[in-house]
Amino acid sequence: MTRPVTARVPAKVNVQLAVGGRRPDGFHDLANVFLAVGLHDEVTATPAETLRVTVEGTDAPHVPTDHTNLAARAAVALAARHGIAPDVHLHIAKDIPVAGGMAGGSADAAGALLACDALWGTKTSLTELLALCADLGSDVPFSLVGGAALGRGRGELLTPLETGGTFHWVFAVADGGLSTPAVYRECDRLREETGAGATVDDIPDPEPSEALLTALRTGDPAALAAAVTNDLQPAALSLRPALAETLRAGAEGGALASLVSGSGPTCAFLAKDAEAAQDVATALAASGTCRTVRTASGPAPGATVITP
């Protein structure tokens, strides 16, 4: 019998999320600087008579186990590419917060692609896998490659970035999630409310910060802290005003930078070093402003098969 295959996949934090205007297709062009961090989901693929998904972990009740699950959709897409049936049991051990702006669902999709490819012996090229990832979602390609990268287009067009050191992060996980489409709609609404407009004709094309790219390359946390930005943060705070208290608690706890991670509601805090990260985590845990607190460092490797 074919042995199960497990893939481990990291979470991400957006150290820059520059959002362009709304395109005619409803999407937004991005300059999205991703950093993979050491919180992981593990996706195990086992031969089965039909496709099924099971999930374990604290947030497991909030993860769909039908064919809408992004990992299930990934298995279906890979099987269709090779003309085979997607008969596999996908078991997801979740450690990345659900609906938290840290690409947990995207990580599961990338993990499913890698695990199923190894299980089925389909030997799909990286180029093909990245194309499948891009079809599944904007963050899925980065979940596959990890490290640090600049995402263009919807975030799926990746350019690897050099990093010169390890960056230490603290993540404050909120109760409940935030819908990414809802956050983008609120971003558009807030822009229109100011009179600036919200379409590609109104908003300049997004560009990565040279200061931020230099800080990543040199491994300088203080310089990175001065350059991190998230254009979706005002929208996330508008939809979830309580996040402002979380951001304040992390800053008062000694974080070099405090920001909403992606579309939220997880908040990310950059610390000087591992010891400072523990101090920030302690302050956040005592603040009562979040459900739980996690520490992690990056960059972390992308999706990796951890069992033969």
Specify the CATH number for the domain of residue 235: 3.30.70.890
The sheet that has 292-298: what strands, in order across it? 257-260, 267-271, 167-173, 292-298
126 and 64 in a common domain: yes
Specify the pTM: 0.93
Cβ-defined contacts of 133-140 (< 8 Å, 24+) = 133/109, 135/77, 136/70, 136/73, 136/74, 136/77, 136/106, 136/109, 137/70, 137/105, 137/106, 137/109, 138/30, 138/106, 139/12, 139/34, 139/103, 139/106, 140/70, 140/74, 140/106, 140/109, 140/110
205 and 180 in a common domain: yes
Q: Which range marks the domain in which residue 244 is found?
A: 167-298
pLDDT at 2: 80
Note whether residue 268 is domain-resident.
yes
Distance CA 200, CA 189 (A): 14
pLDDT tens digits, one per residue of 252-303: 999 999 999 988 899 999 999 999 999 999 999 999 999 999 999 999 999 9
Write down which residue in 116, 144, 162 finishes a domain.
Answer: 162
Q: Into how many domains does the chain fold?
A: 2
pLDDT at 155: 83
271 and 241 in a common domain: yes
Task: Decide if pLDDT at 308 tops 80.
Answer: no
108 and 81 in a common domain: yes
103 is in an annotated binding site: yes
Task: Identify whether the C-beta of residue 79 lies closer than 8 Å to the C-beta of residue 116.
Answer: yes
pLDDT tens digits, one per residue of 153-182: 888 899 999 999 999 999 999 887 788 899
* Candidate list 12, 59, 108, 188, residue with the active-site label: 12
Map residue 73 onto helix, strand or coil: helix
294 and 253 in a common domain: yes
Share of residues in the chain with pLDDT > 90 (%): 88
- Mean pLDDT in the chain? 95
pLDDT at 1: 54
Does 12 participate in catalysis according to the annotation? yes
pLDDT at 196: 87
151 is in an annotated binding site: no
176 is in an annotated binding site: no
Cα angle 230, 148, 295; round to 5: 70
**All residues at 6 or more sequence positions from 258 whose CB lies less than 8 Å from its CB, including other chains:** 247, 248, 250, 251, 267, 268, 269
Joined together, the tokens standing for residue 291 give: 């459900």
Write down which residue in 101, 133, 162 finishes a domain.
Answer: 162
172 and 158 in a common domain: no
Closest residue by Cα to residue 299 from 113, 163, 155: 163
97 is in an annotated binding site: yes
Joined together, the tokens standing for residue 106 give: 């995207």
Q: Which region holds residue 286: left if phi is over 0, alpha if psi is between -120 and 50, else beta?
A: alpha
95 and 30 in a common domain: yes
Does 139 participate in catalysis according to the annotation? yes
106 is in an annotated binding site: yes
207 and 156 in a common domain: no
Distance CA 217, CA 247 (A): 26
138 and 15 in a common domain: yes
78 and 39 in a common domain: yes
Distance CA 126, CA 135 (A): 14
> Mean of the pLDDT values across residues 70-82?
98
Please state whether the peptide bond connecting residue 61 to the residue before it is cis, i.e. omega within 30 degrees of 0.
no
Note whether residue 308 is domain-resident.
no
pLDDT at 24: 94
Task: Decide if pLDDT at 59 tops 90.
Answer: no
Task: Give rounded-to-5 percent helix, strand, coil for the chain.
Answer: 35, 30, 35
Write down which residue in 162, 189, 217 finishes a domain.
Answer: 162
* Candidate list 59, 139, 188, 231, residue with the active-site label: 139
107 is in an annotated binding site: yes
Note whether residue 276 is domain-resident.
yes
The CATH number that applies at residue 76 is 3.30.230.10
Note whether residue 200 is domain-resident.
yes
102 and 149 in a common domain: yes
pLDDT at 269: 97
Task: Identify whether the C-beta of residue 163 lies closer than 8 Å to the C-beta of residue 148.
Answer: yes
pLDDT at 103: 87
139 and 37 in a common domain: yes
104 is in an annotated binding site: yes
Task: Identify whether the C-beta of residue 29 lies closer than 8 Å to the C-beta of residue 155.
Answer: no
Task: Decide if pLDDT at 100 tops 80.
Answer: no
Share of residues in the chain with pLDDT > 70 (%): 99
